[in-house]
């Protein structure tokens, strides 16, 4: 089905989920990536703590292991992530100065990871979650980012003295990524609570425009990753997703669904059917957009979800059986 969808879209449609080599349910994971998904992202294996254990020492073992799992299952691979304030290695932030961060630490990490992982990467989350949660409409890109109360926007103790007083740390990451990524690899700014037509999404678009203007990255290399950790009581409408994807398409940028899970209050059939309807709408918004080619679900079964089993936020239940949402996405893919 995914091959038929790709043919219709005129480019590969990448529908996937997360994998780490230490994941449980090995036979389920091998089977689901051979029969249901065709795209893989490392849930943790390509993050800074896993890939640069000490400053300047590159260790891509786990990241490459996930990439080879993808290729051994006929799946493509995307990179998550080269910069995030969380899951940083123990030597960060360690009193690093802003200029050292911008001029040395970031370019070195981004280069060694992107160059080391090679060009068969559909997209990289170059920066993850750099926009604050207390933003408002009309904020500048700088205001949007300085609203983030996390290193490096704030010093490691989150004191008010912002460590970084401009967006050069983002420019450094993206200009380095542009230099070392494969020419077909999209470079994404990835964030949660985006997708609706609200202040946080407006901020992500403002930072995207800043990256284009000040890091010299053309829009046809850029992407916005809409993480989409949502719930049956809080999610972006299909209309909002369609409008936001179209806005990116007009710029030449790509839209990615990067971490979809949909928490439900309980696994009652009513909740599971609502979950399926929302899943279908997110998928349709991507399928029917000219610039959406990657759709990643975050964790593939409830007992493996970062949300915990009780939120029942994934496509397969804790016994590895498909839930209504799995049937819904299969039907929408067939119907496309
Ligand atoms: O690797 C250690 C292991 O050595 C140790 O024994 C174990 C127990 O302490 O912890 C292991 O590290 C855990 C890691 O996942 C790998 O399993 C961390 O404690 C745990 O916090 C970490 O959670 C991950 C979380 O990001 C960290 O923020 C989740 O698996 C992962 O799903 C989640 O993913 C993030 C995306 O990267 C970005 N968007 C939000 C999303 C959900 O938070």
**Given the CA of residue 128, which atom of ligand 1 is nearest to it?**
38
Residue nearest to atom 43 of ligand 1 (CA): 306
Q: Which of 45, 80, 306 to mutate to test the pocket of ligand 1 (most atoms within 8 A of CB)?
A: 306
- Strand pairing report for 76-80 and 222-226: unpaired
pLDDT value of residue 84: 97
Q: Which of 18, 20, 22, 44 to mutate to test the pocket of ligand 1 (most atoms within 8 A of CB)?
A: 44
pLDDT value of residue 160: 66
CB 160: neighbour CB atoms within 10 A? 7
pLDDT value of residue 201: 98
On whether the CB atoms of residues 264 and 302 are closer than 8 A, the answer is no
- Rounded to whole angstroms, the Cα distance separating 206 from 160 reads 23
pLDDT value of residue 155: 76
- Rounded to whole angstroms, the Cα distance separating 231 from 268 reads 14
Residue nearest to atom 11 of ligand 1 (CA): 44
Q: Which residues of the chain have pLDDT under 70?
A: 156, 158, 160
**Given the CA of residue 18, which atom of ligand 1 is nearest to it?**
32
pLDDT value of residue 95: 83
Full-model pTM: 0.98
How many residues can be counted in the chain? 336
pLDDT in tens, 100-119: 999 999 999 999 999 999 99
pLDDT value of residue 162: 76
pLDDT value of residue 159: 72
pLDDT value of residue 243: 98
Residue nearest to atom 18 of ligand 1 (CA): 87
Pocket of ligand 1 (CB under 6 A): 43-44, 86-87, 128, 192, 227, 259, 306
Rounded to the nearest angstrom, the distance between the alpha carbon of 86 and the centre of ligand 1 is 9
pLDDT value of residue 94: 86
Q: Which of 42, 43, 61, 258 to mutate to test the pocket of ligand 1 (most atoms within 8 A of CB)?
A: 43
- Rounded to whole angstroms, the Cα distance separating 329 from 285 reads 12
**Given the CA of residue 259, which atom of ligand 1 is nearest to it?**
39
pLDDT value of residue 154: 82
Q: Decide if the complex's ipTM is over 0.95.
A: yes
């Amino acid at each position: 089905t995914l091959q038929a969808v790709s043919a219709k879209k005129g480019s590969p449609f990448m529908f996937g989920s997360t994998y780490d080599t230490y994941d449980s349910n090995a036979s389920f994971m091998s089977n689901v990536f051979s029969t249901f998904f065709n795209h893989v992202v490392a849930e943790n294996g390509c993050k800074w703590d896993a890939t640069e254990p000490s400053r300047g020492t590159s260790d891509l073992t786990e990241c490459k292991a996930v990439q080879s799992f993808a290729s051994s299952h006929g799946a493509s691979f995307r990179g998550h992530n080269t910069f995030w304030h969380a899951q940083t290695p123990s030597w960060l932030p360690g009193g690093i100065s802003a200029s050292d961060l911008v001029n040395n630490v970031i370019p070195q990490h981004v280069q060694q990871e992107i160059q080391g992982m090679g060009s068969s990467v559909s997209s990289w989350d170059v920066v993850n979650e750099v926009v604050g949660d207390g933003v408002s409409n009309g904020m500048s890109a700088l205001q949007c980012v300085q609203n983030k109360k996390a290193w490096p926007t704030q010093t490691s103790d989150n004191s008010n003295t912002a460590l970084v007083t401009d967006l050069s740390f983002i420019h450094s990451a993206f200009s380095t990524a542009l230099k070392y990524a494969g020419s077909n690899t999209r470079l994404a700014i990835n964030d949660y609570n985006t997708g609706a037509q609200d202040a946080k999404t407006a901020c992500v678009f403002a930072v995207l425009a800043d990256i284009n203007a000040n890091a010299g990255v053309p829009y046809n290399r850029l992407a916005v990753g809409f993480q989409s950790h949502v719930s049956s009581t809080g999610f972006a409408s299909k209309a909002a997703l369609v409008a936001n994807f179209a806005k990116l398409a007009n710029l030449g940028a790509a839209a990615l669904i990067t971490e979809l899970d949909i928490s439900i209050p309980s696994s009652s059939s009513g909740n599971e059917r609502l979950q399926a309807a929302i899943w279908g709408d997110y998928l349709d918004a991507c399928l029917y957009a000219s610039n959406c080619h990657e759709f990643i679900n975050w964790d593939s079964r409830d007992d493996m979800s970062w949300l915990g089993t009780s939120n029942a936020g994934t496509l397969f239940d804790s016994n590895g059986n498909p839930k209504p949402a799995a049937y819904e996405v299969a039907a929408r893919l067939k119907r496309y």
